């Protein structure tokens, strides 16, 4: 009984203690102790610390953690958890199951960064376990089953910092929810939802769901669904881990947008293909089927494999249809179209024992824009033997190869045979400037791999081939190698230009011996081969090389004749060299002799000779140069090299143009160092003339250089006359002193010319001075003639000048200026400098202009006045006898008071206005307001051209945005097109004569227009002003504008509007052919209608509608009217013919023109042909006489039009004279030689007077014998 009481009391006490313990676990004290315990043990396990702000809940049902933070030893945050809640049920522990009702995590932040030693923060945080690796490892089997009902992550982020990588995102934000059941023999995880988003670079997964089953024997994936903004993946998989090949996988991308992965890949990619993957087990093998499709591109890979061990059997087939690699790589320059298949079958995966065959066939494909007709490949490996056979046929040639190797893994035996036909290497390596046509056969056989042990033979034969323009007739290389010893039996190349023969033998690591001979027959095609300017010449080079690599003996002999390269020409060149190079020490001798050297047009040397000896890397040479009888140079050079290159010039003697130049001292020295050049005693003297150069020019360090010119006579330098078209004379004196350093040089220079003569133009003196120091450039200049100062210049500018970088103007705090001054400068003095006959200039120029620059601001001040100006160019018909120009500058404003030019009969041109000048170095002229007025101004007047016009135009805006308005009216103009077509060649007569003549005529007009446009474009393309010009400008052609030539005489009228809203102007309007004629194949066509309609556009290609008539009598004396209609556009005209208003074919039109009858009548009889030819000859003579007569009368009488018409004799002809009395009154008089068809009386003359009331309304009065009348005509354009 007593024992029971004790047991009862003990149980009650235990229960009491358990109760007390349970109550304690609910207290804040327990939770704080638990929090501190967790922090303590965690801090001991990591290199850092763990801190928890608060812990709530109890150990029996669940806990909550708030603001958990993990920091490393450097106090950097690694993990931050804002909130964690875990709920469990301990009752299930009875069944060895831990039930986790929920784990909720909110705002989990991970900070992962790369340290300076490239270690990762998370790795450094965890302490390494240093226990003995040989300890018995504990049983890793799970003692409890875990049932996780809910695991949820919200608003979680990983922050990544890897400075050296641009492919790792900066942040990854993710959310997810899973449930899982985990036991000792299996794990089942259900991913209910998951999404994440990367930034910098960007990538996003919208959703990911799947069920995963994992056990020691099985991995299973059910209903995997993944979606991104542009891609979608669904998959199922079941893989037995013990027999992987029995697994099943079924996956499908529909589609996969490759551009989403672009941020993580250096190579640019694109495309959105559909991909299907299926793997299944069938017939004791794993079968796979992969298919990729996008639009017309299809790729499939199918096959099977029986196992993954050495004895496996496998086969696979790759099919490709219209595969374009350039599409996937987003490379338009890499376009392919691959169609074909590749088949692989084999056994055993061991490299040594494997047996396999590879067969491929590709047809109708394209590789990088080059068609591939066919490509076949066959590979067969059986154990240690391998054979390969391939043939390729394509646009870049044909390639066939057979190869066989035995004993692959031992002392192998190999044999290769290959043929190349029409191979273009330029296409293969994508070099557009390289074009080849190579035909060759290669045969290689041998035993062994290592050079010291191998036995090998090579035979290369090249049939007639071509490399760019270089043609190879034959080439051959025969050689063999045996245990390190090689022998080149034949090395041969023969072509039309060069022959090369060589042979050699030696040991790879020992002595060598080579003999070579090069015969140069003609080097024309070599220039295109080496992509250099023209090369030509003949000659021979031969030589010998022997010895070891560190002790070579070289002998070479060279002879060239009539050699030229680009602008260099040599009549002959001969040389010989004996050299030895032993341990980098050069010894030997050489000599070179050259006759008749020409370099361009400015340098000619008749003879050059040199003799050099080299001893221990020191060269001593004697050189002689002779140029005709006027120049001879003799000198000795010594060149040595240690830390720097030392060149010593001694015994210098130069006889040039009756002057003798020599060294002022015994030896001149040039020292070339990596960062400086040093000149010592580089002084040359000729009587009282001196050129001295001494000191140091440094690329980086201190400068100390002085150049002096004393009493240099220009008359003794005839080469200057090749640059300037005047005989020059005068005396030059000057110096240049360079101090400071390369970054901040200091320069002082002076240059003067006294008693100068430029042809007949003389001057007393010309003086320039430039000083530069501390980014300030000072300049003074003065020109004196006849004791009068013609020109004076001054400048003080802020300039950055460095010998290490560029030169440019800079902003300056201090005042800087430019000054230019002339006083009563008579421009007629400079007429002596004009070489073209008939050119003249004159006038008095007074100028005083100053530009001040301060704080990057420019102030202008001064006046420019030209009075009594004169400018004549007789050749071009320019005769401006009175030119007055006056403008002034005041701070930022320019006032053009007047530009007045008188020319012609009381004609003038006047420009007035003003503009704002640039305020700073980056500004431009702006606020332009100029007005141009012209009245009866004759701009040109010569035999070929005449231009007289009235104008009223304005220019406003700025240089960057100028705007033009106004117009121009042609009072009288004429252009003779003969000078523009004098150089035109005669076309072949394969084209019908009349059409050829018409087309040629149209092409010549187009050529003149387009060539002018091309020249204008070349001039103006870099002209910012014209490029930015905008506005409208009208050109009015009322009448009296003529286009004349040997074969034409046309009067034009019309109105043209130029509109410029873009870089190129556009022309609109209409030009009418008022009257005139065109001669075609000796027949003069009279213009009855002509309209040219300008439609605008970047190219000038107007619509044309022209009708021309030719009146004649056929062989039967019947009067005929041949009409030609030209329509379409100027660049693409169409021609139509009619005879007496009936359609006529081209061949008949030509027949009527040449023979007076239709084409099918030409073969009627020989007598008819002879008669026709006689008429043709008479007509041609008449045509030539009439052309000459018209020219003489028009030139001497000053008439506007002369027209001589007729048929096959003078009795039916007429002569018409035309002249504008005023711009609106035109009179023509015709002397007739024909009989009126009505009254059979001779009509002696015809007089017509036309008066244009307005452009379309004219009054016409006519008198013809006894007939007179008036007509009021209204012209309407249809």
pLDDT tens, 1260-1271? 767 665 566 666
Confidence (pLDDT) at 350:
84
Three-point CA angle 1208, 1214, 1219, nearest 5° = 145
Angstrom distance (rounded) from CA 1191 to CA 1185:
10
Place of tokens 């793997």: 279
Angstrom distance (rounded) from CA 239 to CA 223:
15
Decide the pairing of beta strands 745-758 and 285-294.
unpaired
Confidence (pLDDT) at 344:
95
Q: Is 129 exposed, middle or buried (0-12, 13-18, 19+ CB in 10 A)?
A: exposed
The H or E element spanning position 1151 is: helix 1146-1155
Question: What sign for the dihedral angle of Cα 804, 810, 815, 816?
Answer: positive
Q: Are 240 and 217 in contact (CB under 8 A)?
A: yes
Angstrom distance (rounded) from CA 79 to CA 766:
83
Confidence (pLDDT) at 1202:
59
SS3 23: helix
Tokens of 1250: 């036309």
Confidence (pLDDT) at 555:
93
Q: Are 705 and 696 in contact (CB under 8 A)?
A: yes
Confidence (pLDDT) at 554:
92
Q: What is the CA radius of gyration of the chain?
A: 49
SS3 1060: strand
Q: Are 398 and 420 in contact (CB under 8 A)?
A: yes
Sequence-ordered list of residues with C-beta below 8 angstroms from that of 149, at least 6 positions apart, any chain: 99, 100, 101, 102, 179
Three-point CA angle 1059, 1064, 1066, nearest 5° = 35
940-975 burial, b at 16+ Cβ within 10 Å, e below that, comes to: bbbebebbbbbbebbbbbbbeebbbebbbbbbbbbb
Question: What sign for the dihedral angle of Cα 995, 998, 1002, 1003?
Answer: positive
Angstrom distance (rounded) from CA 974 to CA 939:
12
Helices (H) and strands (E) in the chain, counts: 12, 71
Give the bridge partners for 157, in sequence order: 109, 173
Confidence (pLDDT) at 1174:
38
Confidence (pLDDT) at 1224:
62
Q: Are 979 and 944 in contact (CB under 8 A)?
A: yes
Decide the pairing of beta strands 1030-1045 and 962-976.
parallel
Angstrom distance (rounded) from CA 1010 to CA 1000:
15
Confidence (pLDDT) at 821:
80
Number of other CB atoms surrounding residue 431 within 10 Å: 11
Q: Which long-range contacts (CB under 8 A, 24 or more apart) does 239-245 make?
A: 241/216, 241/217, 242/217, 244/308, 245/281, 245/285, 245/286, 245/305, 245/306, 245/307, 245/308
Q: Where are the beta strands (DSSP E) in 468-567?
A: 470-482, 485-495, 498-507, 512-520, 535-548, 551-565
Give the bridge partners for 592, in sequence order: 575, 610
Decide the pairing of beta strands 1103-1113 and 1083-1095.
antiparallel
Q: Is 1244 exposed, middle or buried (0-12, 13-18, 19+ CB in 10 A)?
A: exposed
Tokens of 234: 């669904």
The H or E element spanning position 948 is: strand 945-957
C-alpha distances in Å from residue 552, one per residue of 223, 504, 508, 509, 547: 76, 14, 14, 13, 5
Sequence-ordered list of residues with C-beta below 8 angstroms from that of 1205, at least 6 positions apart, any chain: 1084, 1086, 1111, 1213, 1214, 1216
Give the bridge partners for 668, in sequence order: 649
Q: Where are the beta strands (DSSP E) in 116-268?
A: 145-161, 171-182, 187-199, 203-205, 207-215, 218-227, 232-240, 248-253
DSSP H stretches of helix in 500-584: 524-529
Q: What DSSP state is assigned to residue 261?
A: G
Number of other CB atoms surrounding residue 796 within 10 Å: 19
- Kindly give the parts of the chain with pLDDT less than 50: 132-136, 982-1022, 1164-1197, 1207-1211, 1235, 1237-1242, 1277-1278
Confidence (pLDDT) at 622:
93
């Amino acid at each position: 009984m007593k024992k029971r009481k004790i047991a009862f009391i003990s149980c009650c006490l235990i229960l009491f203690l358990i109760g007390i313990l349970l109550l304690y676990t609910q207290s804040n004290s327990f939770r704080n102790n638990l929090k501190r315990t967790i922090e303590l043990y965690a801090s001991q396990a990591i290199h850092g610390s763990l801190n928890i702000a608060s812990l709530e809940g109890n150990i029996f049902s669940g806990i909550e953690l708030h603001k958990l933070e993990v920091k490393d030893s450097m106090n950097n945050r690694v993990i931050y958890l804002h909130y964690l809640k875990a709920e469990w049920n301990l009752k299930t522990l009875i069944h060895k199951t831990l039930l986790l009702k929920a784990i909720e995590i909110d705002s989990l932040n991970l900070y992962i960064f790369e340290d300076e030693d490239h270690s990762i923060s998370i790795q450094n945080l965890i302490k390494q376990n240093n226990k003995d690796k040989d300890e018995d490892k504990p049983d890793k089997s799970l003692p409890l089953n875990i049932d996780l009902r809910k695991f949820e992550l919200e608003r979680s982020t990983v922050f990544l910092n890897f400075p050296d990588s641009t492919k790792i995102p900066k942040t990854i934000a993710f959310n997810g929810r899973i449930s899982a059941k985990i036991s000792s023999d299996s794990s089942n995880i259900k991913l209910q939802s998951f999404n994440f988003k990367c930034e910098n670079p960007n990538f996003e997964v919208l959703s990911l769901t799947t069920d995963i089953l994992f056990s020691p024997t099985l991995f299973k994936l059910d209903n995997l669904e993944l979606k991104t903004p542009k891609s979608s993946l669904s998959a199922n998989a079941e893989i037995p881990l013990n027999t992987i090949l029995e697994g099943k996988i079924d996956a499908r991308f529909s589609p996969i947008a490759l551009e989403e992965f672009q941020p993580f890949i250096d190579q640019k990619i694109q495309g959105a293909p559909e991909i299907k993957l299926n793997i299944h087990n069938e017939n004791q093998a794993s079968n796979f089927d992969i298919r990729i499709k996008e639009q017309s591109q299809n790729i499939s890979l199918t096959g099977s494999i029986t196992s993954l061990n050495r004895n496996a059997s496998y086969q696979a087939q790759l099919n490709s249809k219209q595969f374009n690699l350039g599409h996937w790589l987003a490379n338009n320059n890499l376009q392919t179209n691959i169609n074909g298949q590749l088949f692989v079958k084999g056994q055993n995966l061991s490299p040594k024992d494997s047996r396999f065959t590879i067969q491929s066939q590709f047809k109708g494909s394209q590789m990088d824009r080059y068609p591939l007709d066919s490509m076949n490949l066959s590979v067969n490996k059986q154990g240690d033997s391998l054979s390969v056979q391939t043939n390729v046929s394509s646009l870049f040639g044909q390639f066939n190869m057979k190869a066989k190797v035995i004993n692959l893994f031992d002392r192998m035996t190999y044999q290769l045979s290959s043929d190349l036909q029409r191979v273009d290497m330029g296409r293969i390596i994508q070099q557009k400037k390289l074009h080849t046509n190579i035909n060759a056969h290669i045969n290689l056989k041998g035993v062994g791999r290592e050079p010291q042990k191998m036995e090998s033979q090579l035979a290369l034969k090249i049939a007639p081939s071509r490399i760019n323009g270089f043609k190879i007739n034959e080439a051959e290389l025969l050689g063999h190698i045996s245990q390190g010893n090689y022998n080149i039996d034949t090395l041969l190349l023969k072509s039309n230009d060069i022959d090369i023969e060589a042979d050699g033998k030696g040991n790879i690591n020992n002595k060598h011996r080579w003999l070579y001979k090069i015969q140069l027959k003609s080097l024309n095609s070599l220039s295109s081969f080496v992509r250099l300017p023209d090369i030509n010449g003949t000659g021979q080079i031969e030589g010998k090389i022997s010895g070891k690599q560190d002790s070579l003996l070289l002998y070479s002999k060279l002879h060239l004749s009539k050699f030229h390269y680009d602008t260099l020409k040599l009549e002959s060149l001969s040389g010989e060299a004996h050299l030895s190079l032993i341990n980098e020490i050069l010894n030997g001798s050489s000599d070179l002799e050259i006759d008749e050297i020409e370099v361009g047009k400015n340098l000619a040397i008749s003879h050059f000779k040199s003799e050099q000896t080299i001893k221990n890397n020191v060269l001593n040479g004697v050189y002689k140069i002779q140029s005709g009888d006027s120049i001879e140079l003799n000198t000795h050079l010594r060149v040595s090299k240690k830390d720097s290159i030392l060149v010593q010039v001694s015994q210098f003697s130069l006889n040039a143009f009756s002057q003798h130049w020599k060294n002022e001292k015994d030896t001149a020295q040039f020292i070339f160092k990596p960062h400086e050049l040093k000149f010592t005693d580089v002084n040359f003297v000729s009587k009282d003339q001196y050129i001295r150069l001494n000191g140091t020019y440094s690329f980086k360090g201190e400068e100390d250089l002085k150049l002096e010119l004393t009493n240099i006579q220009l008359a003794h330098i005839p080469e200057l006359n090749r640059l300037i078209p005047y005989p020059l004379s005068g005396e030059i004196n000057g110096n240049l002193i360079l101090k400071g350093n390369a970054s901040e040089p200091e320069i002082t220079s002076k240059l003067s010319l006294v008693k100068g003569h430029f042809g007949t133009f003389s001057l007393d003196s010309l003086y320039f001075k430039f000083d530069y120091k501390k980014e300030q450039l000072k300049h003074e200049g003065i020109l004196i003639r006849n004791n009068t100062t013609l020109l004076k210049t001054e400048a003080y500018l802020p300039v950055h000048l460095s010998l290490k970088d560029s030169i440019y103007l800079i902003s300056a705090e201090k005042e800087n200026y430019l000054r230019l001054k002339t006083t009563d400068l008579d421009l007629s003095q400079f007429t002596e400098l004009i070489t073209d006959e008939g050119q003249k200039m004159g006038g008095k120029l007074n100028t005083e202009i100053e530009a001040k620059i301060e704080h990057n601001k420019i102030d202008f001040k001064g006046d420019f006045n030209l009075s009594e100006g004169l400018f004549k160019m007789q050749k071009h018909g320019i005769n401006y006898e009175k030119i007055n120009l006056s403008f002034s500058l005041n701070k930022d404003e320019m006032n053009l008071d007047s530009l007045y030019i008188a020319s012609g009969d009381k004609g003038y041109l006047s420009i007035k206005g003003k503009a704002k000048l640039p305020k700073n170095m980056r500004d431009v002229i702006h606020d332009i307001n100029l007005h141009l007025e012209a009245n009866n101004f004759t701009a040109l007047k010569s035999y070929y051209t005449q231009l007289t016009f009235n104008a009223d135009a304005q220019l406003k805006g700025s240089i960057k945005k100028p705007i033009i308005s106004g117009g121009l009216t042609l009072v009288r103009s004429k252009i003779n097109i003969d000078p523009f077509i004098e150089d035109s060649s005669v076309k072949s007569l394969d084209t019908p004569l009349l059409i050829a003549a018409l087309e040629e005529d149209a092409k010549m007009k187009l050529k003149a227009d387009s060539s002018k446009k091309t020249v204008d474009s070349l001039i103006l393309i870099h002209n910012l002003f014209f490029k930015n010009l905008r506005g409208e400008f009208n050109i009015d052609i009322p009448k009296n504008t003529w286009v004349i030539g040997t074969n034409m005489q046309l009067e034009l009228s019309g109105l043209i509007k130029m509109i410029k809203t873009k870089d190129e102007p556009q022309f609109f309007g209409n030009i009418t052919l008022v009257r005139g004629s065109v001669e075609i194949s000796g027949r003069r066509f009279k213009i009855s209608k002509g309209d040219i309609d300008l439609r605008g556009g970047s190219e000038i290609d107007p619509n044309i509608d022209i009708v021309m008539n030719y009146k004649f009598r056929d062989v039967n004396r019947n009067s005929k009217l041949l009409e030609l209609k030209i329509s379409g556009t100027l660049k693409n005209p169409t021609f139509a013919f009619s005879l007496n208003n009936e359609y006529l074919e081209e061949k008949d039109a030509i027949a009527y023109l040449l023979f007076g009858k239709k084409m099918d009548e030409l073969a009627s009889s020989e007598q008819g042909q002879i008669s026709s030819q006689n008429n043709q000859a008479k007509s041609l003579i008449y045509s030539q006489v009439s052309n000459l007569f018209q020219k003489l009368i028009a030139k001497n009488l000053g008439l506007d039009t002369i027209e001589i018409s007729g048929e096959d004799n003078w009795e039916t002809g007429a002569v018409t004279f035309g002249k504008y009395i005023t711009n609106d009154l035109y009179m023509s008089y015709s002397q007739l030689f024909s009989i009126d068809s009505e009254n059979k009386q001779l009509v002696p003359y015809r007089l017509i007077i036309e008066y244009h009331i307005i452009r379309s309304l004219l009054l016409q009065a006519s008198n013809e014998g006894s007939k007179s009348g008036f007509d009021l005509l209204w012209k309407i354009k249809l």
